[in-house]
Amino acid sequence: MNFSRVILAILATSPVMTLAAETIQHAWWKEAVVYQVYPRSFKDSNGDGVGDLKGITSKLEYIQRLGVNVIWLSPHFDSPNADNGYDIRDYRKVMADFGTMADFDELLHGIKQRNMKLILDLVVNHTSDEHAWFAESRKSKDSPYRDHYFWRPAKDGHEPNNWVSFFSGSAWTLDPATNEYYLHLFAAKQPDLNWDNPKVRREVYDLMKFWLDKGVDGFRMDVIPFISKRPGLPDLPPDYMTRPQYFYAMGPHLHEYLREMNREVLSKYDAMTVGEAFGVTLEQTPSLVDERRHELDMIFNFDVVRLNRDGEQWRDWTLPEMKAIYTTEDKALDAHSWNTVFLSNHDNPRVVSAFGDDSAAFRIPSAKLLATMVLTLKGTPFIYQGDELGMTNYPFTRIEEFDDIQVKNGWKADVLTGKMKAGPYLANLRKTSRDNSRTPMQWDDSSSAGFTTAATPWLRVNPNYKDINAARELADPSSIYNYFCKMVEFRKKTPALVYGVYEDLDPRNAHIFAYTRTLGTEKYLVVLNFSKADVSYTLPGGITAGELQISNLASRESKTHALQLKAWEARVYRQ
Ligand code: TEU
């Protein structure tokens, strides 16, 4: 549908202009709904237990039916898989486990044929230690590639500084070949690239062009705020030791490098960019996404998705805290900036387990409520594979069941050293581990949930696959999947849900999230009951609910100011 025309028509007839026509900057990526595919876990086509590109191609119809129009593909590049592809050995090659370049071309073709777009994962803060640049770099102190990375001699017989890795321990590893340390903010097999070296930046711009020239539509940029390091690599101040991301991010040349990347590459294509902004505060966000600065289109802010975490420890979150973040985000971003909305990804637990209620009684309504929220808030929605089915966290009980390097390193550093007890450590992982979202997609009730014909998939299938799977949900009109389809469709045909002004009507209410989205005379009211109790709710400010458009529990209540909401009920009204 042509939003521009609809919006101009609405504004032309609008007596009260809540949003002036000139403040709306249209863009396809603002109107998009993005679906993240984690290739390792999506669909295995050749029976080796690992998902692959042909598998994704075979499921494009499933994705298209959902109504999403952009696919974000987690890394599919050649990699030794120390961190499941976030350690790249060759940026121009497809990971052998996932197939060939011909398979990639076929996937891209299939996506385009269905009028969808594809964005890739640009992981350029670091490479694999098996990348040819690093292999050269480590050979000698005067290697022409030495300065592609950060090499430093020992300081008083120790690491060059006190920086910590996100995957436990020091961010420095001593390399015997030259007896110097190299920097890695993540695993030792993920050395950080030195962006202050113009040759590195040129290499990155070239590889971006390589994929854009193939026809991809943009990038999700992995930990992009970390690319500019603080000069002299000063020690982490003590209060940053448990949240080093805020020290590593936003280095002095970040804006300069992003603008250069934009000028040299992105401005020449109709591409979308979304930066993974780990360590970026809300106050800093506009400096990255204000369109007049020509840096990024939008970023992922982690305040909501990590609301349930204190460092790496699970904490119980409250609804007023969540609402306050959405309001602060909204206020921080003006008409020149755009936001994202997401509650999960491959680094976080399942959305229904983390923010809903995955018990048998409430899994379905709470998953639908969360879908309603993500698809009616302001910002481009990102949906992680399997969340459209209400897939849940995995019932991990033993350390051997995990695959993630973050878990394995953490176990060695914290449990095997006696710093933490195994029981509570596992209990925390059960709620927070990244592997919760990486278990294979549940396609049907055959063995391994139809993900693979191999005897053992690379990561265990959630035992609940007989109940929770795509085949079952496609056939059931009242399923989470079909509700998602309906919500995506509703958002796509409703400009107010994309561009409308956001207002939280009741910020302090501990159970109800009630907000409006207004564009000209078009206004929608969203009411979400975030509790397992039924709630009688009087709308604040004398508001009366209008015509009911969507309900996750087949409610019929309309035109009233006193709502009888069931547990986890979600409704959308047209005012
Ligand atoms: O993640 C960035 C990041 O810093 C965190 O989300 C991190 O994964 C971890 O959860 C910190 O506690 C990106 C990728 O999304 C992630 O999969 C990679 O492992 C990481 O970068 C390194 O490339």
DSSP at 400: G
Query: By the 8 A CB rule, do 391 and 350 touch?
Result: yes
* pLDDT value of position 364: 98
Q: How far is CA 466 from the centre of its chain?
A: 27
- Which residue from 265, 497, 482 is spatially nearest to 389, judged by alpha carbons? 482
384 in contact with ligand 1, CB cutoff 6 A: no
What's the count of helices (H) and strands (E) in the chain, helices before strands? 17, 22
Ligand 1 centre distance from Cα of residue 255 (Å): 21
Residue type, 271: A
What is the maximum alpha-carbon separation in the chain?
76
- DSSP string across 402-439: ---HHHHHHIIIIITTTSS-HHHHHHHHHHH-GGGGTS
123 in contact with ligand 1, CB cutoff 6 A: yes
Strand partners, 181: 152, 174
**Mutational test site, ligand 1, from 91, 186, 305, 342, max ligand atoms within 8 Å of CB:** 186
DSSP at 392: -
222 in contact with ligand 1, CB cutoff 6 A: yes
Q: For the chain, how many residues are written?
A: 575
Q: Round to whole Å and give the CA distance between 475 and 62.
A: 13
347 in contact with ligand 1, CB cutoff 6 A: yes
Strands (E), 38-75: 70-73
CB neighbourhood size of 67 (10 A) = 18
Ligand 1 centre distance from Cα of residue 246 (Å): 14
402 in contact with ligand 1, CB cutoff 6 A: no
Ligand 1 centre distance from Cα of residue 347 (Å): 6
396 in contact with ligand 1, CB cutoff 6 A: no
Tell the residue nearest (CA) to atom 17 of ligand 1.
347
The number of the ligand 1 atom at minimal distance from the alpha carbon of 245 is 4
Q: Round to whole Å and give the CA distance between 520 and 530.
A: 29
Ligand 1 centre distance from Cα of residue 463 (Å): 26
The number of the ligand 1 atom at minimal distance from the alpha carbon of 346 is 17
Q: Which residues have a catalytic role annotated? A: 222, 276
**Mutational test site, ligand 1, from 41, 124, 223, max ligand atoms within 8 Å of CB:** 223
- DSSP string across 1-37: --HHHHHHHHHHH-SS-SS-GGG----TTTS--EEEE
- Strand, helix or coil for residue 135: helix
The number of the ligand 1 atom at minimal distance from the alpha carbon of 125 is 23
Query: By the 8 A CB rule, do 145 and 137 touch?
Result: yes
Q: Round to whole Å and give the CA distance between 35 and 382.
A: 6
The number of the ligand 1 atom at minimal distance from the alpha carbon of 302 is 6
167 in contact with ligand 1, CB cutoff 6 A: no
Give how far Cα 216 sits from Cα of 92, 209, 414, Å. 13, 10, 42
Query: By the 8 A CB rule, do 406 and 438 touch?
Result: no
- Which residue from 109, 455, 156, 504 is spatially nearest to 320, judged by alpha carbons? 504
Ligand 1 centre distance from Cα of residue 10 (Å): 42
Which residues, at least 6 apart from 572, have a Cβ–Cβ distance to it below 8 Å? 372, 376, 490, 524, 525, 526, 527, 548, 549, 550, 551
Q: Round to whole Å and give the CA distance between 479 and 564.
A: 23
Q: Each residue of 229-241: b (16+ CB within 10 Å) or e?
A: beeeeeebeeebe
Q: Round to whole Å and give the CA distance between 300 and 121.
A: 13
**Mutational test site, ligand 1, from 37, 74, 86, max ligand atoms within 8 Å of CB:** 86
404 in contact with ligand 1, CB cutoff 6 A: no
The per-residue pLDDT string of the chain (575 residues; one tens digit each, 9 = 90 and over) reads 344 444 444 444 443 445 655 568 899 999 999 999 999 999 999 999 999 999 999 999 999 999 999 999 999 999 999 999 999 999 999 999 999 999 999 999 999 999 999 999 999 999 999 999 999 999 999 999 999 999 999 999 999 999 999 999 999 999 999 999 999 999 999 999 999 999 999 999 999 999 999 999 999 999 999 999 999 999 999 999 999 999 999 999 999 999 999 999 999 999 999 999 999 999 999 999 999 999 999 999 999 999 999 989 999 999 999 999 999 999 999 899 999 999 999 999 999 999 999 999 999 999 999 999 999 999 999 999 999 999 999 999 999 999 999 999 999 999 999 999 999 999 999 999 999 999 999 999 999 999 999 999 999 999 999 999 999 999 999 999 999 999 999 999 999 999 999 999 999 999 999 999 999 999 999 999 999 999 999 999 999 999 999 999 988 898 999 999 999 999 999 99
Q: Round to whole Å and give the CA distance between 61 and 80.
A: 31
CA-based Rg of the chain, rounded to a whole angstrom? 24
Q: How far is CA 6 from the centre of its chain?
A: 30
* Residue 439 backbone phi and psi in degrees, to 5: -65, 155
* pLDDT value of position 24: 80
Q: Round to whole Å and give the CA distance between 205 and 227.
A: 14
Tell the residue nearest (CA) to atom 11 of ligand 1.
166
Structure-derived torsion over alpha carbons of residues 11, 505, 333, 337, reported in degrees to the nearest 10: -40
83 in contact with ligand 1, CB cutoff 6 A: yes
77 in contact with ligand 1, CB cutoff 6 A: no
- DSSP string across 359-391: STTTHHHHHHHHHHHHTTSSSEEEEETTGGGT-
Question: Which tokens belong to 24?
Answer: 């709306």
166 in contact with ligand 1, CB cutoff 6 A: yes
Ligand 1 centre distance from Cα of residue 370 (Å): 23
Tell the residue nearest (CA) to atom 4 of ligand 1.
278
The number of the ligand 1 atom at minimal distance from the alpha carbon of 185 is 22
DSSP at 478: T
Query: By the 8 A CB rule, do 194 and 162 touch?
Result: no
Ligand 1 centre distance from Cα of residue 422 (Å): 23
226 in contact with ligand 1, CB cutoff 6 A: no
Tell the residue nearest (CA) to atom 10 of ligand 1.
347
Please tell me whether the overall predicted TM-score, pTM, comes out greater than 0.85 for this model: yes
